Structure 1
Amino acid sequence: MGRQDGIAQAPEVPMQRKPFYRQLYVQVLTAIVLGAIVGHLFPEFGASLKPLGDGFIKLVKMIIAPVIFLTVATGIAGMRDMSKVGSVAGKAFIYFLFFSTLALIIGLVVGNVVRPGAGLAIDPATLDAAAVANFTETAKEQSVTGFLLDIIPETLFSAMTEGKILQVLLVAILAGVAMAMTRPHSDLVLDVLGSLSEIVFKLVHMLMRLAPIGAFGAIAFTIGEFGIGSLANLAALIATFYLTSLLFVLVVLGMVGYFTGFSIFSLIRYLREELLLVLGTSSSEAALPSLMEKMEIAGCRKTVVGLVVPTGYSFNLDGTNIYMTLAALFIAQAVGIELSWGEQFALVLVAMISSKGAAGVTGAGFVILAATLSVVPSVPVAGMALILGIDRFMSECRALTNFIGNSVATIVVARWENALDTDRLAAAMAGNPLPLPEEDIERHERSGPHSEAITAQLAEHGA
């Protein structure tokens, strides 16, 4: 909701611009370029830098569970109307289902029109099935029932220690509702969680300073291990996937942004640091805490951010869905198999389910693809070996598209819930975020600080 007449507003605080070399996105971009150069010129040394990227991602994953729990639990506990929680969740899932399915269909259409695998004429007997055995075995273990049961943690605290996003989200929602229903007795607990939230987000900012090192190591490993030459071998598929994802973001999500009241280009500029981090690490999870913070600063209510962003990371995988149907058609075309429309329709239906069932699995894109191909016996699952060498390059595009898709979803659901401050959104998109309005100050006083940036704004208002 935008600012209303009669509500006192603090004077706008000018943003202090850092020197360009201290901007995180400049540092990450420089690290990516240097990492690519090192990986190309010194491939063995570049490949040995993999622990830098893996270590940074592990550091960020370490903090994801407490960020989600504190954001969601304190946000819900500070709400007066518990029915809003169900409303946000319901609208989010409607959005996820529609756009995830649309992404699958777009990948299918592009695969049929462009036909990136046509003409390769690869003999299925020459494919190395052992190379993808691990992914196919993991795919067999996935099921809808197993996925749903896995959302329930073994104990109340194991969700935090195992780091599974949906388990943490479930515990956070239950804890938030319980605190809201036992107030004022739970106020002391809420105050403690609010203070802990401030500490956790300070830790997030500290970890983000290591982002250039993580991006450098991840890119150096990718280029050193697989080589730039591996891109040329399957250039048609890579170019088709990247172009399709780009058009999905700019056209489909761009139209969604236009009708919601923001420009997709402004959103990309606003999230440039996070996008470069995702590009460098090939992991959208690396930027999850920062995304949650920036979405609230851009005017989305804390509770909406806390519910939509974590669930979107499992249920709103636009980039992965485009990849699934496009890659499946590429493999079929490469081995000379023409799929009927019935078989392609079956692919979409299975992918709609398998993309949720494999959420959070290491190498999820490949696992989902293996599960999807299993419904079309005529297409050899061993054909996945054709794209195994370039999957790391494809994962970067998947992660970027997924990340942008979830940021758009958060703004849209907030708008549907009348929980979007349009003035703050416009100011954030223009690069000059506004101070918090009075109603948000009261909400933060009830639910505790959310981040370093928001805590500073509360201090400006004498909170």
Structure 2
Amino acid sequence: MDRKLTWYIFAGMVLGVAVGYAVHVGVAADSPMFEYITKTFKLLSDIFLNLIKLLVAPLVLSTIVVGIAHMGDSSALGRIGVRALTWFITASFISIALGLLMVNLFQPGIGAPIPEAAEAAKMVGEVKKLDAWEFTLSIFPKNALEALATNNILQILVFSIFAGVALSAIGEKGAALVRGSEALAEMMLQITGYVMRFAPVAVFGAIAKVVAGSGLAILGTYFELLVEFYLSLVLLWIILLTMGWIFLRAKIWQLIRYIREPLLIAFSTASSEAALPKMFEQLDRFGVPRRISGFMLPLGYSFNLDGSMMYMSFATLFIAQAYGIELSITTQILILLTLMVSSKGIAAVPRASLVVITGTLAQFGLPVEGVAIILAIDQFLDMGRTATNVVGNAVATSVITKWEGMLEVPEPAEMELPHAPHDTPEHGKRGLDLPVGE
């Protein structure tokens, strides 16, 4: 993320708190003026939410199709690819299951002072309950255009998977459609960049509205959510590093020392892309051949977003709790499985988690406007989840390298070497340009 945009978001938050509190104490809550002001605040965040909804279908369709169509490129790695995907799926399941456990344990949304929560809960009514048979049937689209028009994210995923596999199978005959999908993905990423520039204004409107209605009490809810989310991330780090220790043993502590700098870059910028060049360099020094890291990191940045997995489970269930909507454990599991599947392949999208959460809330009939609540502090949550994504991918890359018996003798973590011993044509170059992102 652009550093200027980050500061603009912070400024929007501060200004939103100040203006919202001024309205809270200075304007009678039952006056027409109060209603007019809060509707204006809500309009700012609603515009952003509508634009996010606009992105869901074409983003998921184009990125999944392109990703699967190009999966054949990694088939030469055979066993490494299978092991990598097995690790990624296992880590994703652990992350999202831990998020489910922790958000139910902490229940940060219970009692949140959201003025319109009761009205929203009435509008939602009883959350649609599907048994396993109904849920399975609902995944498969009978009309691809209908799925796209209604933002049915699961059905879009199924169609995208079929399309991607088919294009990969027909080879050159489908090249034009693959290029078209790549162009669509690039166009949507560009549009996403435009939409995200409105984020500071949307953050201002979102936080000003809730503070105007709830006073500064909502800040306590936000603080509680932040603390409990970061505690959960710490627990996830312990689990991931323990999994790494099983394979790397004492080298896991060396790995932590080697990735300190990319970790700090990821946390401060909330961008995995910003940390990627330094990550390649430090993994080189740790002893990971570039032919392994050059495959593992791009794949991992799409399929191994452990921090984002936990965040999406936390945020989705926090919204349901804040609106007083009861979700059965079966429904929660179905929601989290939907999040797990639908998040794959759109890692290059800025604020991809918000896009996935929005689509999933709509899929299960939950109040999409709840995204505006977490939008106010999403930047702080994003910093933690991005750093966790970096840790998860560093551990995964090192473990697979060790598993393959290819981990080399490490170089000093802090030494600048003009030519690393394994920086050869066989391993690739440090300047390798790889399209990865959040």
Q: Same fold (TM over 0.5)?
A: yes
For 1:165-176, list aligned pairs within 5 A: none
Residue 256 in structure 1 maps to residue 217 in structure 2: no
Which of 323, 326, 329 is the equivalent residue of 1:341?
329
Q: CA deviation at 1:120?
A: 2.2
Residue 318 in structure 1 maps to residue 306 in structure 2: yes
Q: CA deviation at 1:354?
A: 0.9
Looking at structure 2, the residues matched to 445 and 356 of structure 1 have their Cα atoms a distance apart, in angstroms, of: 31
Looking at structure 1, the residues matched to 305 and 289 of structure 2 have their Cα atoms a distance apart, in angstroms, of: 22
Residue equivalent to 2:80:
88
Looking at structure 1, the residues matched to 390 and 225 of structure 2 have their Cα atoms a distance apart, in angstroms, of: 21
Structure 1 pair 41/359, CA: closer, same or farther in 2 (3 Å)?
A: closer
Which of 97, 114, 124 is the equivalent residue of 2:117?
124
Residue 419 in structure 1 maps to residue 417 in structure 2: no
Which of 379, 390, 395 is the equivalent residue of 2:377?
390
Q: CA deviation at 1:289?
A: 2.5
SS of the aligned residue for 2:343 comes to helix
Residue equivalent to 2:160:
146
Residue equivalent to 2:318:
330
Residue 303 in structure 1 maps to residue 296 in structure 2: no
Residue 109 in structure 1 maps to residue 123 in structure 2: no
Structure 1 pair 116/41, CA: closer, same or farther in 2 (3 Å)?
A: closer
Structure 1 pair 451/355, CA: closer, same or farther in 2 (3 Å)?
A: closer
Residue equivalent to 1:5:
none
Looking at structure 1, the residues matched to 243 and 109 of structure 2 have their Cα atoms a distance apart, in angstroms, of: 32
Contact kept in structure 1, 2:108 and 2:224, CA below 8 Å:
yes
Q: Which amino acid aligns with 1:417?
A: E
Looking at structure 2, the residues matched to 314 and 404 of structure 1 have their Cα atoms a distance apart, in angstroms, of: 14
Question: Can you list the C-alpha shifts for 1:240-293, whole angstroms capped at 9, x where unaligned?
Answer: 1111112211x1122123222346554343222222222222111112222123
Structure 1 pair 289/342, CA: closer, same or farther in 2 (3 Å)?
A: same
Residue 404 in structure 1 maps to residue 396 in structure 2: no
What TM-score do the two structures reach when normalised by structure 1? 0.57
Which of 284, 289, 292 is the equivalent residue of 2:277?
289
Looking at structure 1, the residues matched to 201 and 252 of structure 2 have their Cα atoms a distance apart, in angstroms, of: 31
SS of the aligned residue for 2:78 comes to helix
Q: Which amino acid aligns with 1:124?
A: A
Looking at structure 1, the residues matched to 279 and 375 of structure 2 have their Cα atoms a distance apart, in angstroms, of: 30
CA RMSD across the alignment: 4.4
Length, aligned pairs only: 319
Looking at structure 2, the residues matched to 322 and 39 of structure 1 have their Cα atoms a distance apart, in angstroms, of: 27
Which of 234, 253, 264 is the equivalent residue of 1:246?
234
Residue equivalent to 1:61:
none
Q: Which amino acid aligns with 1:406?
A: N
Contact kept in structure 2, 1:253 and 1:264, CA below 8 Å:
no
Question: Can you list the C-alpha shifts for 1:124-175, whole angstroms capped at 9, x where unaligned?
Answer: 366699xxxxxx98775952432675697758988998897xxxxxxxxxxx
Looking at structure 1, the residues matched to 201 and 369 of structure 2 have their Cα atoms a distance apart, in angstroms, of: 26
Gaps of 5+ in 2: 17-72, 124-148, 168-174, 187-199, 209-215, 433-438
Which of 255, 258, 278 is the equivalent residue of 1:270?
258
Q: Which amino acid aligns with 1:305?
A: S
Structure 1 pair 100/446, CA: closer, same or farther in 2 (3 Å)?
A: closer
Structure 1 pair 380/290, CA: closer, same or farther in 2 (3 Å)?
A: same
Residue equivalent to 1:208:
none
Q: Which amino acid aligns with 1:335?
A: Y
Contact kept in structure 2, 1:116 and 1:236, CA below 8 Å:
yes
Looking at structure 2, the residues matched to 41 and 156 of structure 1 have their Cα atoms a distance apart, in angstroms, of: 41
Question: Can you list the C-alpha shifts for 1:301-356, whole angstroms capped at 9, x where unaligned?
Answer: 22211111001111001011101111122111111122111111111221221111
Structure 1 pair 309/138, CA: closer, same or farther in 2 (3 Å)?
A: farther
Looking at structure 1, the residues matched to 373 and 293 of structure 2 have their Cα atoms a distance apart, in angstroms, of: 39
Question: Can you list the C-alpha shifts for 1:410-457, whole angstroms capped at 9, x where unaligned?
Answer: 001111111212x31xx54x656999897x47xx255664459xxxxx
For 1:159-170, list aligned pairs within 5 A: none
What TM-score do the two structures reach when normalised by structure 2? 0.60
Looking at structure 2, the residues matched to 283 and 352 of structure 1 have their Cα atoms a distance apart, in angstroms, of: 20
Q: Which amino acid aligns with 2:358?
A: A
Looking at structure 2, the residues matched to 41 and 83 of structure 1 have their Cα atoms a distance apart, in angstroms, of: 46
Residue equivalent to 2:36:
none
Contact kept in structure 1, 2:241 and 2:395, CA below 8 Å:
no
